Chain A
Amino acid sequence: MTVYIFIVLAVLAIASALAMVINKNVVNSALFLVLNMVSLAGIYLLLNAQFLAIIQILVYAGAIMVLFLFVIMLLNVEQEEKLFDKFRVKYFLAFLLGVAVTGQIFYSLAGVTDMLPEISDKMAAVGTVEAVGDVLFTTYLLPFELTAILLTAAVVGALMIAQHKIKRTEEI
Chain B
Amino acid sequence: MDYLGDIQAFLPGVITALAGLIVIVIESLKKDSSATFWVTVLSLVAALFFSIQSLGTGLDTAFSGMLVHGGAVAFGNVIIVVATLFCVFISEDYLKGINHYYGETYALILFATTGMMCLAGSNDLITLFIGLETMSICLYVMAGLIKDEKSGAEAALKYFLLGAFSTGFLLYGMALIYGATGTTNISAIGAAASTDLLFLAGAALLLVGFLFKVSAVPFHMWTPDVYQGTPTTLTAYFATASKAATFVALIMVLSRALPVMEGLNWQMVFSVIAILTMVFGNIIALVQDNLKRMLAYSSIAHAGYALVGLAAGTPEGYSAVLFYMFAYTIMNIGAFGVIAYYERNKGMDFSEVQNLAGLGFKKPVMGIALSIFLFSLAGIPPLVGFAGKYYVFAAAINAEMVTLAVIGVLASAASVYYYLRVMVYLYFREEHKPVELFNPTLLYKGTIIILAILTLYYGIEPILPASGLMELLNSYGNLGAVTNVLIP
Contact = CB atoms under 8 A, between A and B. Distances in A.
Interface in A119-169: 138-143, 146-147, 149-150, 152-154, 156-161, 164-165, 167-168
Nearest to A158: B141
Contacts of B63: 141-142
A158 B156 CA distance: 12
B200 interface: no
B130 A153 contact: no
B472 interface: no
B108 A157 contact: yes
B166 to A, nearest CB: 17
A132 to B, nearest CB: 14
Interface residues of B, number: 39
B265 interface: no
A81 to B, nearest CB: 31
Contacts of A142: 6, 10, 62-63, 66-67, 118, 127
B286 interface: no
Given A140-B66, A149-B134, A160 B127 contact: no
A149 B141 contact: no
A164 B148 contact: yes
A159 to B, nearest CB: 8
Contacts of B104: 156-157, 159-160
Given A142-B66, A143-B126, A146-B134, A153 B108 contact: yes
B64 A138 contact: yes
Interface string B137-173: 1101100100110000000100000000000000000
B479 interface: no
Nearest to A164: B147
A44 to B, nearest CB: 14
Contact of B114 (A138, A143, A149): A149
A150 B107 CA distance: 12
Contacts of B131: 146
B114 A140 contact: no
Interface stretch (B17-25, B191-199, B352-360): B17-25
Interface class of chain A by DSSP: helix
A149 B110 CA distance: 10
A146 B148 contact: no
A139 B63 CA distance: 7
With a 10 A CB-CB cut-off, give which of A138, A140, A143 has the most chain B CB atoms.
Answer: A143
Given A140-B126, A141-B64, A149-B134, A161 B141 contact: yes
A143 B126 CA distance: 7
Given A141-B64, A164-B147, A149 B137 contact: no
A165 B102 CA distance: 12
Interface class of chain B by DSSP: helix
Contacts of A141: 3, 6, 63-64, 66
With a 10 A CB-CB cut-off, give which of A154, A160, A165 has the most chain B CB atoms.
Answer: A160
A146 B67 CA distance: 12
A138 B10 CA distance: 16
Contacts of B3: 141
A164 B95 CA distance: 14
A155 to B, nearest CB: 10
B31 to A, nearest CB: 9
Contact of A150 (B64, B115, B124, B147): B115
A149 B62 CA distance: 19
Contacts of B134: 146, 149-150, 153
Nearest to A147: B130
A152 B115 CA distance: 12
A70 B162 CA distance: 28
Given A152-B21, A157-B138, A164-B147, A146 B130 contact: yes
A142 to B, nearest CB: 4
Contacts of B147: 161, 164
Contacts of B112: 153
A143 B127 contact: yes
Contacts of A140: 64, 66, 126
Nearest to B10: A142
A143 B108 contact: no
A154 B488 CA distance: 31
B341 interface: no
B154 to A, nearest CB: 14
A165 B138 CA distance: 20
Nearest to B138: A153
A139 to B, nearest CB: 5
Nearest to B141: A157
Interface in A74-97: none
A153 B104 CA distance: 10
Contacts of B124: 143
21 contacts: A139-B66, A140-B64, A140-B66, A141-B6, A146-B118, A146-B127, A150-B111, A150-B115, A150-B133, A153-B107, A153-B108, A153-B111, A153-B138, A156-B104, A156-B107, A157-B108, A157-B138, A160-B105, A161-B144, A161-B147, A161-B156
Interface of A: 138-143, 146-147, 149-150, 152-154, 156-161, 164-165, 167-168
Given A147-B130, A153-B141, 9 more contacts: A142-B10, A143-B66, A146-B114, A152-B20, A153-B108, A153-B112, A153-B115, A160-B102, A160-B108
In the complex, the 7 A-B pairs of residues with the closest C-beta atoms, listed nearest first: A157-B141, A142-B63, A153-B111, A150-B134, A139-B64, A142-B66, A160-B104
